[in-house]
Amino acid sequence: MGKAVTRFHVGDKAAVGNILASCGKCAACLAGRGNWCESYPVLTYGSVDPKDGLPTRGGFADEYVLPDKFTYHLPEGLDPAGVAPLMCAGTTTYVPLKRWGAGPGKTVGVVGMGGLGTSR
């Protein structure tokens, strides 16, 4: 763990979403929206890791090195395998639902390819 990391301690359980890094300098990043990074967000799968130039391998990776702002605490008692879908598809679907005021009494549809339909 790097010296600048203050949100985590050795032994903490952590979860990683689908974004590992962003440029940190563009308008989107400065507004706290690294997922809309104008240069790139580095994704957990299918991106090029800016640190070593190797392709990111998603769940097939042995380890990840990333800024702590892209890392989340895994609450005690939650099964990591049960949380994993929430870190990618769950976040992808949650953000627009929250932004557009989805809630009790409203009907929404989630349309997507891949794992988006797994978040319920």
Instruction: Supply 15's token pair.
Output: 């979860």
DSSP conformation letters of the chain: --TT--S--TT--EEE-SEEEE-S-SHHHHTT-GGG-SS-EEETEEEE-TTT-PEEEGGG-S-----GGGEEE--TT--HHHHHHIIIIIHHHHHHHHHTT--TT-------SGGGGG--
Residues of each domain in the chain carrying CATH 3.90.180.10:
1-78
Distance from chain centroid for Cα 26: 19
Taking the domain 1-78, which CATH number applies?
Answer: 3.90.180.10
> How confident is the model over 22-81, as pLDDT tens digits?
999 999 999 988 888 998 889 888 899 888 899 998 878 888 888 888 888 988 898 888
pTM score > 0.85 for this model?
no
